[in-house]
Every structure is written in structure tokens, then in C-alpha cells.
């Protein structure tokens, strides 16, 4: 997908001049000509990061999302969850009409008029009953919708309007208040950082803005020249961030606070001279170095490790320290986040902090207050827009606890609930009235995830069902309640409101061009983006007096005017049989909103390779101490709830921790989500502090988890050789270019064959690849890959054309032995002498003139010999008839054949995209340009780890890398299959080397 395509997309192409430029009626618009792809810049709303996206539109429907290359957050990339946003649109379980709860308990469809009338009456009654008797709880929005909601709630005489997210980063916000006195969620800019220390911050996984940070982090390391950016990770388990780090130490989340403070005191002690007297005075407590021996006893981190990290932090030119649990917000978590902010401040990294829109969400006290009001009968009607408090935990879950009460005849137990939702999630399923709203791909919207990044979200297609825009629903509700808001705002609908707000922005910017042109350009580009330099976050002065006492680890607090802090560590003694709970955002399902999207359910967790279920992760020693074994069905009980899930024992996590991914365990939401797995949010305390007292007991054996693949131990095979900064560890033997020149008449029984015009090849930098698996989902979306379900994944029948293999390579480094957790994206290697081709009896598998291993589906009779003989095992057999439940079939890419039961299918470097690019070039009578052909996996890679191109073009980047990169190697090159996918070795950065 080229920017050229983008320019032609969207708005400009509208044929008639008098049509409003932003009018979007794709099914009948000229750019929606049959068979021709159109592209619309829009916004990904799958998490609060606010990535810009391009919706690929075919024949009246969106088939694929890409990253928006112009958008400063995503820069052309999109994560797996973003890729799966189209499945939210085509979710077979979407709410299609308004639903009302009938007295008996079920939900019945009604018309919009009836629904609005009913709700309007309720609202009017509540408004009449007094002020503040209506509440509005919404998912985070940083644009016009949120502004409209503010006006709406005002119009109803209430101020009970809260934005919320299940992952609120409360620890970071508290820490920002403690250190800088501002209530914000900081986003850390990693550009040009030379050392990254993560204290439990999984910035490559789901943390705040993962696509952006993955790109920034990968740019620090890849491809050439390799910058010497080291990364050290402390945290409770192996995450993508931990895997990418050069050294990782597993500590419990509750120990991060003490560890962080120990680092602060060490750093401050060694950098004392750089502090002015005033600051030194304020930090006097922390200037006293903590007793490292004691820290070691409590956290298990050897003093030498802390000293090494301190030295590395101090020696680095531009270190950044990241911390802040998205969920846990107890004193140790706040301490850890505070320590990170203090370290950044002391090391000069504070200017890297940018306020993120996440700071707009309501904090626990406000949420708890609303929960109390809802439960206490203070509120008559509550609107819940596109958020699922019933599923959530913590303070948001407290609201959910009220909403999940059965609506009784008395009505006093809970207020009347109106859910504005596109799917019948756990909350909507319990609402009194469900009003179906557009999914983001059908809706207008805007967002400003960071200051200066004003993004526009335009509908990429007409609405699929009888849903309405959430803003229009609110306007409609206001109208129905006799509180006509639209005229008051001077607009007809939400789109008008958004335009009005953008026209204000237009005026504020003092643009010369007229508004229409400005707005059209913004739509085309995906927003209005200020240069990075022009938006600087002013670091507020640092005030150590706000710090609670006792964070020096002394345990004493309440000194003078300082507020007393909670205990800095979790209160669980090391070595005791007590365990700590660690609930983390799922890499695939995030907070659970991906749970009804087949691609995400089927996508393996990159680390554990589990799909379709919840698991409980424990270290072998932890499991042993609890009397549990791998595969046991384990019930965990906290003071707040209990869950049951299979235990997964593996060594890559901290002792004394039971880690559980969030996202599963829905009571409703759809056919894939309902009743699947367990919801660990149930275990959380309302204040999100992790407390001891967790009980884990065995309840028999669990059914086998659906896990991808075999062991991560390469068993001594050099599948992922490592390089040091000086160069590859071992000479890359057996490197054979997939070109005629590599054939040896003596060694080879196979013979060279020419390629016509092109020979496609790919280079994947394992140093850049974080294992995020966006490529996998992008491939599903692009290539019509069916979702096979849990049972089939368990049997090894997944259909993914590209998978992320993980290998743990142990190597001796000084002073600590280390393991490199390398991710190996495995796709068809398009071998030049391919073992799969010769064994096919029907020529279904053959070699194209451009070097691709083509698969002719109608010719395949399903012997599976090719799949067997593939040393990379990248060929997939259709074990069952592929099914795409309506309307999921609307997502299918018309350029790619749907395969039938009984045939083998595989990656062909997105041959349809190659063809399209070649045709475009041929139409323009020009040669193909390097970078013009972009397979789906390459396009979406947040780390830009994949380079694709024509090996016959000596100037192509892929040619250059494949021919001369010192870290190049081929997986199983010794088989002389001449793979056209060449990998660049992962680098091990030993201590002291950088």
C-alpha cells in the first residue's frame, strides 16, 4: 500500500463537486468501483493509543486495515488488535436493532423511535427528579464525542460524566502527582534513548502506546548501524518487553517498588554533585543509600545486579526508565512508578515525558464514588457507552457490581441502565435498554492521543445494521427527553458537531486555506499533526516534599507533614508459600474487547503460545510449593472473587507469583467469548492494590490448553544463532542466495533456473522483531485465512501462514548467564530449490518465474506430501471446510481465493499485492520501484523488522541486506533449500559491552 493510493483515497475522488467533500457513501461512490480498492484514512479505536489507520475498502465494504504512514503514532504500522478491528465491524454477534428488557428478563428488539421514546421518558423523569440523577460512563475518548458527552450531561443537569478504561495506569498517575504534581499519564519518548530500563512496564506489549513504542525501540536497534541501546527488564514474567531486553530479572510486582527506590538511592548517591542544594535537601531521605543486602533479601535481586544497572544508567548518554502497572495501584506499584519518574528526572530524561490522553480517564476515587451513588439509589438512569464495567475489575468493576444486579421490580436496587454498545457485552447484556451504535469503522470521530496529534476518524463504510452513531444517539436521547441539544449546539448531528469543532481548530490555527480544503486535507491525511518539536511537554518543577515517607525502605512513615505511605513491598515474605497475583493485559485480547474476534482468539499469546483460553502461569518452584502441577485445574481465590483456570508451569516468571492474563471469561459478548476461560478481573480489589491472602488450590486436571507448537528449547540446533555487537558469533556457513549463482555443480543435484524480471525475497531482522504477532493477524485479514477454533488449535490444525516461533537460546555472559528469547517469524521461505514442489504429484505446487512457491488450489488434491516435506512446516492443510459466519464473509479479500476443504494452502508473499503493484506500474508504463510491493506482514510490522523486495534489483534494500549484511543467515541453510527469506541474527549485548 503506497502513499499514492492514500492520496487518491477518501474524499477527493468524489465525482460531483456539489457533494460535500466528506460525504462518504462508499457503496455508490465512484472510488468504490467494483474490483477497485479504495483507501480511507481513519483511526484505530481498539485501545487508547490512538493509532492512525487506513481502511482498505472494496465493493462497499472494508476488508482490511493498515497503519497510516502519515500518522505520527503508528507510522504505517498496526498491531494485531488493530488488524482485528474489522472483526468488530463484522462481528456476527453485533447488536442489530435497539433492544429493551422485557419484564420477564430477556431482551426484545424494538424500533429506534420506541427506544428513544422510552429512554427519553426515563431521562426526562430523572431530570425532573433533581440534578445529578443521570450518569454517563464512557470509554475513553479524547475528541468531539467526549466534548459532546460533556455538553449532554450538563444539559441534563448532572456532572456525573466519567471516562474510564479497564487499564487506568493509576500507579503512574499517582506517581506523577507525587513527583511533578500533575495528574497525567506519561508517555515516554524512546527516540534516541541509549538505555532503557523497564520496571515492569511492558511497553512492547500493551503499555500505553505499544505500536509507537515498538517502532521507537526497534529503531534504536535495527538494522544498521546497530546502536548500542541496552535494555534491562525487571518484572514478574516473560513478556515481549522482557524477551526483547538484553537482561531480565524476574521479581514480583510488589517488589518493584523497593527495587526502584534502591536504584533511585544508588543513582542519587552517585550523582549527588549534579543536584542543586535545594533538591538535595528535598531528597535527603532517598539520598541515603538503601541497604542493598536487605533489598536483595526482599527481592532476590543480587546487590551486584543493582549496582550494575545503576552504573549502566549513569554511564548511558540518554537513559529512560519506564514503570507503571496498567492495573495494579497499591503502594509498591506507586513506589515503582515514582522511582521511575525520579530516575528519569535525575538522569535528565524527564523531557521525554509526554502527557497521554489516558490521563483523561476517571481515577479510582471518582469511579468508586459513582459506584456508591449508583448503588445508593442516587441515580435514576445511567448510560454506559462502549465500555464494559460488568466485565471489568477494580473501581470500574465496582460500578459493574451494581450494574450486574438483577433489575428488580422495585427499581431501587440499581438505576435504569442504557447501554450504547455495538456488541452485547457483559454490561449491555444486563442493561435495560441497548442502543446499537456504530463500530468505529462506521463512525465519525476524532482523537488527540498526545498533544499536537489531532486525528480524524472517518467512517470507512456505510453502517452494516440499524445502528446509529453514539453522538447521534445522545442527541436523539436529548431530543426525546425534551432537552433538545442539537439546536442548542447549532448542529444537526454529530458529524456537524465534529465539523464545528474542527472549524474552531481551523480558526485557531489561523490557516490560510478555507475550512473545506483544510478539513478535506485533514481527512485525507488522517488528522492534523503538529511537528514534534513544536509540542513540548513542560516538565513541572519537581517537589520531593510530596513524596510519602517510608519509601526508603525503612518502613517508618508519617514523618512530619508528609503523608504516610503504605508498605513499599507487597508484604509477602520471600520463600513463604504465599503467592501474589499478577493480572496482566492480554497481548491478544487486551482488556477483553478482542474476545469475540476469531483472529485474536486464535492468535497465540507470543510467549506462552496459548490461544483460546485463560491460563495461570507459575514458576515450577511456586507450583511445587503450592502442590500444583502443570495442567492442573486451579482455583484461585482472593478476598473479592475466584476463578478457575489451567495451570501453566514455566520457568520464565518470578517466584511466588501467579500470573493470569485478562480478557477471557465473558458472560456474554458473543459466540467466541461467552463462557470461555476465566476473568481474573474478578480477583481484583476495588482500590487495585495487590494484597496477600491469595489461595490457590487444585481441582483435578484441566483439559489440555490449545497451545501452538513444540518446545522453545532449540536442543542445540542453530536455529537462531546470535551475534554480538562485534559481529556474528559464528561464520554464517551454508548461506546460499536464492539465485542461480548459488548453485554448485558438484555439491548440488539440483540445477539453477532463471527468473524472469523479478525474484522476490525478504529479510527479517530478528533484532527488531519483538514477537508482537501483528504480522500473523494481518496475514489472516489479507489472505482469507479461516479461524479453526480451540479444539483444532489443540490438535495442531491452525491455518496461520505466518507464525511466531520462540526459541530460548542460552549463552554464557558475564557476570550472569543469560537466555535470549528470540522470536522467529516463520512463513513460507519461498525456497529456490524447494522440497515441497518436487513431491507434488499434480504440479499444484510449483515454482513461478518470479521465484515464488506457488500453490494452485484447484489442482491440489490434498496428499499433504508437500506439507510433510517442508522443513519449515509452513504449509497448511484445510482439515475441515473453512467457515466464515455471516457477515464475516464480507471481510474476505476478493483478490485472494477462498480455499476449500482438503487442499493445502500457504504464503506466497501476498502474490495478489505483487500483481496489483505490477499492474499499476504497467498501467503507468514505468518499472516497479523498490518498496512498491508491500506484503501484508511487512506493511503492518510495528518494528519495521521486515524488508521485502526484488533480488534482481541490485539497488533494492532487500538485495543489499541479503547480499552483504554481516548478520544475515538462513534458517536450516544447511539443507541447501536456498530460502528467499533471510534472517538477521539477534544480537546479544553483554554487560559492559555497551
Partner 1 sequence: MELAEVDRLVLTALAPPGRRLKWVVTGLLLAIGVGVAAFLYQLERGLGVAGINHPVGWAVYIASFVYWVGIAHSGTLISAALLLARARWRLPLARAAEAMTLAALAVAGLFPLIHLGKVGAFTATLPIPNPRGLWPNFVSPLSWDVLAILTYLIVSALFFYVSLLPDLASARDASAEASGRRGFTLRGHPAMRWLALGWRGTSRQYLLLGAVQRVLAGLATALVLFVSTVVSFDFATSILPGWHATHFGPYFVSGALHSGLAMVLLVLISMRRGLRLGALIGREHLARVARLLGVTTLVMGYFYLVEPAVAWLSGDPAERAILHYRATGPYAPVFYTMLVLNVALPASLLWRGPRTMEGWLAAVAIFVNVGMWLERVLIVVTTTAHDFLPANWGFYLPTSIELAVLAGALGLFVLVLIVLLRTVPPIGIAELKAELVAEAESDSPAGAGLGEAVRAGSMPLEEESRAPSARVTERAVAEPVPGEEPGVLGVFKAARSAGVAARALASARLGPVEVLGPCATAAHRAVPAGPWPARAVFLSVLAGAALGFALGLWIPLSTAREFALVVGAKPVPPLPAYLVVAGFLSLLGGSLGGGAAFLALALFRRRRHDRLERAFDPRFSRDRFGVFVGCDAGRAPLATELLQAAGAEEIRGGA
Among the residue ranges 53-61, 269-277, 465-473, 791-799, the one whose residues contact partner 1 (CB under 8 A) = 791-799
Task: Choose between 332 and 738: whose C-beta lies nearer to partner 1.
Answer: 738
Contact residue for partner 1 among 839, 916, 921, 929 (CB under 8 A): 839
Task: Choose between 482 and 881: whose C-beta lies nearer to partner 1.
Answer: 881
DSSP character for 742? G
Among the residue ranges 169-177, 205-213, 871-879, 952-960, the one whose residues contact partner 1 (CB under 8 A) = 871-879
Cβ(686)–Cβ(368) below 8 Å = yes
Residues in Cβ contact with 553 at an 8 Å cutoff, skipping those fewer than 6 apart: 258, 261, 262, 290, 291, 294, 295, 568
Contact residue for partner 1 among 147, 269, 521, 750 (CB under 8 A): 750
DSSP character for 262? H
Contact call for residue 884 and partner 1 (CB under 8 A): no
Contact residue for partner 1 among 157, 451, 641, 752 (CB under 8 A): 752
Contact residue for partner 1 among 151, 228, 271, 797 (CB under 8 A): 797
Three-state DSSP at 750 gives coil
Nearest to 657 by CA among 235, 206, 301: 235
Three-state DSSP at 277 gives helix
Task: Choose between 606 and 728: whose C-beta lies nearer to partner 1.
Answer: 606
Distance CA 831, CA 851 (A): 8
Shortest Cβ 102–partner 1 spacing (Å): 39
Among the residue ranges 81-89, 410-418, 656-664, 712-720, the one whose residues contact partner 1 (CB under 8 A) = 712-720
Distance CA 240, CA 535 (A): 30
Nearest to 432 by CA among 448, 416, 443: 416
Shortest Cβ 804–partner 1 spacing (Å): 9
Contact call for residue 855 and partner 1 (CB under 8 A): no
Contact call for residue 879 and partner 1 (CB under 8 A): yes
Distance CA 602, CA 797 (A): 11
Contact call for residue 807 and partner 1 (CB under 8 A): yes
The label of the residue with cell 492494590 reads 689
Contact residue for partner 1 among 122, 978, 986, 989 (CB under 8 A): 978
Contact residue for partner 1 among 558, 881, 927, 992 (CB under 8 A): 881
Shortest Cβ 883–partner 1 spacing (Å): 11
Contact call for residue 880 and partner 1 (CB under 8 A): yes
Contact call for residue 631 and partner 1 (CB under 8 A): no
Nearest to 292 by CA among 271, 310, 274, 316: 310
Contact call for residue 502 and partner 1 (CB under 8 A): no
Among the residue ranges 3-11, 120-128, 287-295, 743-751, the one whose residues contact partner 1 (CB under 8 A) = 743-751
Contact residue for partner 1 among 408, 560, 841, 954 (CB under 8 A): 841
Distance CA 304, CA 293 (A): 10
CA atoms within 13 A on the CB side of 97: 12
Shortest Cβ 979–partner 1 spacing (Å): 12
Among the residue ranges 445-453, 480-488, 861-869, 942-950, the one whose residues contact partner 1 (CB under 8 A) = 861-869
Shortest Cβ 837–partner 1 spacing (Å): 4
Q: How many residues bind partner 1 (CB under 8 A)?
A: 71
The label of the residue with cell 444537526 reads 492
For the chain, give the number of residues: 994
Return contacts of 540-543, CB within 8 angstroms, 24+ apart.
540/180, 540/181, 540/182, 541/180, 541/181, 542/179, 542/180, 542/279, 542/282, 542/345, 542/350, 543/179, 543/180, 543/181, 543/282
Contact call for residue 806 and partner 1 (CB under 8 A): yes
Shortest Cβ 589–partner 1 spacing (Å): 22
Cβ(299)–Cβ(255) below 8 Å = yes
Cβ(743)–Cβ(751) below 8 Å = yes
Residues in Cβ contact with 66 at an 8 Å cutoff, skipping those fewer than 6 apart: 1, 39, 53, 54, 56, 76, 78, 939, 940
Task: Choose between 513 and 842: whose C-beta lies nearer to partner 1.
Answer: 842
Helix (H) or strand (E) holding 63: strand 61-67
Contact call for residue 541 and partner 1 (CB under 8 A): no
Within 896-915, the residues that bind partner 1 by CB under 8 A are 900-904
CA atoms within 13 A on the CB side of 408: 7
Rounded to 10 deg, the angle between the 303-315 and 292-299 helix axes is 110
Contact residue for partner 1 among 485, 836, 890, 928 (CB under 8 A): 836
Three-state DSSP at 559 gives coil
Contact call for residue 751 and partner 1 (CB under 8 A): yes
DSSP character for 810? E
Shortest Cβ 748–partner 1 spacing (Å): 8
Contact call for residue 850 and partner 1 (CB under 8 A): no
Within 394-433, the residues that bind partner 1 by CB under 8 A are none
User: What DSSP string describes 157-183?
Assistant: T--EEEEE-S---HHHHHHHHHHHS--
Shortest Cβ 209–partner 1 spacing (Å): 30
Task: Choose between 366 and 972: whose C-beta lies nearer to partner 1.
Answer: 972
User: What DSSP string describes 938-978?
Assistant: HHH-TT--EEEEETT-TTSHHHHHHHH-TTEE-TTGGG---
Contact call for residue 863 and partner 1 (CB under 8 A): yes
Task: Choose between 188 and 872: whose C-beta lies nearer to partner 1.
Answer: 872
Task: Choose between 135 and 804: whose C-beta lies nearer to partner 1.
Answer: 804
Strand partners, 231: 196
Nearest to 340 by CA among 267, 392, 432: 267
* 32, three cell numbers: 468504490
Distance CA 991, CA 304 (A): 12
Q: 395-432 as b/e, with b when 16 or more CB fall inside 10 Å?
A: bbbbbbbbbbeebeeeeeebbbbbbbbbbbbbbbbbbb
Shortest Cβ 978–partner 1 spacing (Å): 8
Contact call for residue 607 and partner 1 (CB under 8 A): no
Shortest Cβ 238–partner 1 spacing (Å): 16
Contact call for residue 838 and partner 1 (CB under 8 A): yes
Contact residue for partner 1 among 266, 833, 912, 944 (CB under 8 A): 833
Contact residue for partner 1 among 465, 515, 846, 884 (CB under 8 A): 846
Shortest Cβ 982–partner 1 spacing (Å): 16
Among the residue ranges 172-180, 418-426, 656-664, 873-881, the one whose residues contact partner 1 (CB under 8 A) = 873-881
Task: Choose between 385 and 794: whose C-beta lies nearer to partner 1.
Answer: 794
Among the residue ranges 362-370, 665-673, 711-719, 778-786, the one whose residues contact partner 1 (CB under 8 A) = 711-719
Contact call for residue 878 and partner 1 (CB under 8 A): yes
Residues in Cβ contact with 458 at an 8 Å cutoff, skipping those fewer than 6 apart: 10, 22, 24, 40, 41, 42, 444, 523
Within 915-974, the residues that bind partner 1 by CB under 8 A are 971-972
Within 808-827, the residues that bind partner 1 by CB under 8 A are 824, 826
Contact call for residue 730 and partner 1 (CB under 8 A): no
Spell out, one character per residue from 660 to 699, where the chain touches partner 1: x when CB under 8 A holds, - when not.
----------------------------------------
Shortest Cβ 733–partner 1 spacing (Å): 14
Amino acid at each position: 500500500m503506497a502513499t499514492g493510493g492514500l492520496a487518491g483515497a477518501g474524499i477527493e475522488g468524489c465525482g460531483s463537486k456539489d457533494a460535500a467533500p466528506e460525504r462518504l457513501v462508499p457503496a455508490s461512490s465512484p472510488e468504490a468501483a467494483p474490483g477497485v480498492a479504495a483507501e480511507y484514512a481513519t483511526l484505530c479505536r481498539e485501545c487508547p493509543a490512538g493509532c492512525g489507520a487506513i481502511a482498505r475498502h472494496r465493493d462497499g465494504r472494508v476488508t482490511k486495515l493498515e497503519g497510516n504512514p502519515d500518522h505520527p503514532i503508528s507510522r504505517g504500522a498496526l498491531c494485531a488488535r488493530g488488524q482485528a478491528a474489522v472483526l468488530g465491524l463484522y462481528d456476527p454477534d453485533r447488536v442489530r436493532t435497539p433492544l429493551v428488557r422485557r419484564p420477564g428478563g430477556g431482551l426484545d428488539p424494538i424500533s429506534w423511535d420506541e427506544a428513544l421514546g422510552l429512554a427519553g421518558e426515563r431521562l426526562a423523569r430523572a431530570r425532573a427528579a433533581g440534578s445529578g440523577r443521570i450518569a454517563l460512563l464512557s470509554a475513553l475518548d479524547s475528541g468531539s464525542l467526549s466534548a459532546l458527552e460533556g455538553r449532554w450531561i450538563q444539559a441534563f443537569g448532572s456532572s456525573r460524566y466519567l471516562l474510564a478504561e479497564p487499564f487506568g495506569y493509576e500507579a503512574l498517575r499517582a506517581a506523577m502527582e507525587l513527583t511533578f504534581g500533575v495528574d497525567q499519564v506519561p508517555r515516554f519518548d524512546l527516540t534516541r534513548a541509549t538505555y532503557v530500563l523497564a520496571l515492569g512496564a511492558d511497553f512492547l506489549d500493551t503499555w500505553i502506546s505499544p505500536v509507537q513504542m515498538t517502532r521507537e525501540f526497534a529503531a534504536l536497534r535495527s538494522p544498521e548501524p546497530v546502536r548500542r541501546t541496552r535494555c534491562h527488564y525487571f518484572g514478574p514474567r516473560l513478556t515481549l518487553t522482557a524477551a526483547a531486553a538484553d537482561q531480565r530479572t524476574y521479581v514480583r510486582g510488589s517488589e518493584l517498588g523497593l527495587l526502584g527506590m534502591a536504584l533511585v538511592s544508588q543513582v542519587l548517591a552517585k550523582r549527588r554533585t549534579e543536584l542543586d542544594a535545594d533538591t538535595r535537601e528535598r531528597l535527603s531521605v532517598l539520598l541515603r543509600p538503601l541497604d542493598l543486602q536487605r533489598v536483595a533479601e526482599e527481592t532476590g535481586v543480587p546487590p551486584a545486579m543493582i549496582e550494575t544497572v545503576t552504573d549502566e544508567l549513569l554511564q548511558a548518554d540518554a537513559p529512560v526508565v519506564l514503570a507503571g502497572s496498567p492495573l495494579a495501584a497499591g503502594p509498591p506499584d506507586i513506589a515503582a512508578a515514582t522511582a521511575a519518574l525520579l530516575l528519569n528526572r535525575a538522569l535528565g530524561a524527564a523531557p521525554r515525558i509526554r502527557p497521554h490522553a489516558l490521563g483523561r480517564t476517571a481515577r479510582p476515587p471518582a469511579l468508586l464514588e459513582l459506584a456508591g451513588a449508583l448503588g445508593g439509589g442516587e441515580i435514576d438512569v445511567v448510560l454506559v457507552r462502549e465500555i464494559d464495567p460488568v466485565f471489568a475489575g477494580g473501581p470500574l468493576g465496582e460500578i459493574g457490581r451494581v450494574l450486574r444486579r438483577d433489575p428488580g421490580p422495585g427499581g431501587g436496587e440499581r438505576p435504569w441502565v442504557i447501554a450504547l454498545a455495538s456488541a452485547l457485552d457483559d454490561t449491555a447484556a444486563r442493561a435495560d435498554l441497548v442502543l446499537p451504535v456504530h463500530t468505529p469503522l462506521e463512525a465519525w470521530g476524532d482523537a488527540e492521543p498526545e498533544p499536537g496529534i489531532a486525528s480524524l476518524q472517518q467512517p470507512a463504510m456505510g453502517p452494516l445494521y440499524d445502528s446509529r452513531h453514539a453522538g447521534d444517539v445522545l442527541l436523539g436521547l436529548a431530543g426525546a427527553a425534551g432537552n433538545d441539544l442539537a439546536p442548542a449546539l447549532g448542529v444537526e448531528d454529530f458529524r456537524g458537531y465534529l465539523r464545528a469543532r474542527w472549524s474552531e481548530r481551523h480558526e485557531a490555527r489561523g490557516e490560510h486555506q478555507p475550512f473545506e480544503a483544510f478539513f478535506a486535507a485533514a481527512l485525507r491525511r488522517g488528522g492534523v499533526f503538529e511537528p514534534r518539536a513544536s509540542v513540548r511537554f513542560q516538565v513541572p518543577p519537581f517537589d520531593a516534599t510530596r513524596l510519602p515517607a517510608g519509601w526508603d525502605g525503612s518502613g517508618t512513615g508519617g514523618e512530619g507533614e508528609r503523608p504516610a505511605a503504605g508498605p513499599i513491598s507487597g508484604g509477602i515474605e520471600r520463600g513463604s508459600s504465599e503467592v501474589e497475583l499478577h493480572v496482566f493485559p492480554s497481548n491478544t485480547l487486551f482488556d477483553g474487547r478482542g474476545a469475540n474476534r476469531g483472529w485474536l482468539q486464535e492468535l497465540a499469546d507470543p510467549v506462552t503460545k496459548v490461544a483460546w483460553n485463560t491460563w495461570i502461569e507459575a514458576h515450577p518452584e511456586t507450583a511445587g510449593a503450592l502442590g500444583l502441577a502443570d495442567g492442573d485445574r486451579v482455583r484461585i481465590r482472593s478476598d473479592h472473587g475466584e476463578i478457575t483456570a489451567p495451570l501453566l508451569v514455566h520457568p520464565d516468571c518470578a517466584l511466588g507469583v501467579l500470573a493470569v492474563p485478562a480478557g477471557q471469561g465473558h458472560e456474554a459478548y458473543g459466540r467466541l467469548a461467552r463462557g470461555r476461560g476465566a476473568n481474573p478481573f474478578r480477583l481484583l480489589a476495588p482500590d487495585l492494590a495487590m494484597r496477600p491472602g491469595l489461595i490457590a488450590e487444585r481441582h483435578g486436571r484441566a483439559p489440555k490448553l490449545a497451545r501452538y507448537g513444540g518446545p522453545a528449547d532449540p536442543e542445540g540446533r542453530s536455529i537462531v544463532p546470535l551475534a554480538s555487537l562485534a559481529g556474528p558469533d559464528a561464520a554464517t556457513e551454508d548461506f546460499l542466495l536464492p539465485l542461480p549463482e548459488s548453485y554448485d555443480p558438484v555439491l548440488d543435484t539440483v540445477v539453477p533456473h532463471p527468473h524472469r524480471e523479478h525474484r522476490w525475497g525478504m529479510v527479517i531482522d530478528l533484532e527488531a522483531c519483538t514477537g508482537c504477532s501483528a504480522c500473523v493477524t494481518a496475514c489472516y485479514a489479507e489472505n482469507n485465512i479461516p479461524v479453526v477454533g480451540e479444539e483444532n488449535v489443540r490438535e495442531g490444525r491452525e491455518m496461520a501462514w505466518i507464525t511466531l516461533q520462540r526459541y530460548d537460546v542460552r549463552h554464557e555472559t558475564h557476570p550472569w548467564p543469560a537466555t535470549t528469547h528470540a522470536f522467529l517469524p516463520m512463513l513460507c521461505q519461498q525456497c529456490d530449490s524447494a522440497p515441497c514442489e518436487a513431491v507434488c504429484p499434480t504440479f499444484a505446487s510449483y515454482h513461478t518465474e518470479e521465484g515464488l512457491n506457488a500453490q494452485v488450489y484447484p489442482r491440489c488434491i490434498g496428499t499433504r506430501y508437500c506439507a510433510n516435506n517442508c522443513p519449515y512446516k509452513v504449509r497448511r492443510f484445510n482439515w475441515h471446510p473453512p467457515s466464515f459466519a455471516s457477515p464475516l464473509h464480507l471481510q474476505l479479500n476478493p483478490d485472494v481465493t477462498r480455499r476449500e476443504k482438503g487442499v493445502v494452502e500457504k504464503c506466497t508473499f501476498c502474490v495478489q499485492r505483487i500483481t496489483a503493484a505490477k499492474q499499476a506500474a504497467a498501467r503507468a508504463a514505468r518499472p516497479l520501484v523498490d518498496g512498491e510491493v508491500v506484503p501484508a506482514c511487512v506493511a503492518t510490522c510495528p518494528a519495521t523488522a521486515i524488508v521485502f523486495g526484488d533480488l534482481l534489483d541490485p539497488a533494492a534494500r532487500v538485495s543489499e541486506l541479503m547480499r552483504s549484511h554481516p548478520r544475515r543467515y538462513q534458517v536450516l541453510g544447511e539443507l541447501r533449500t536456498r530460502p528467499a527469506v533471510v534472517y538477521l541474527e539477534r544480537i546479544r549485548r553483554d554487560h559492559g559491552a555497551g
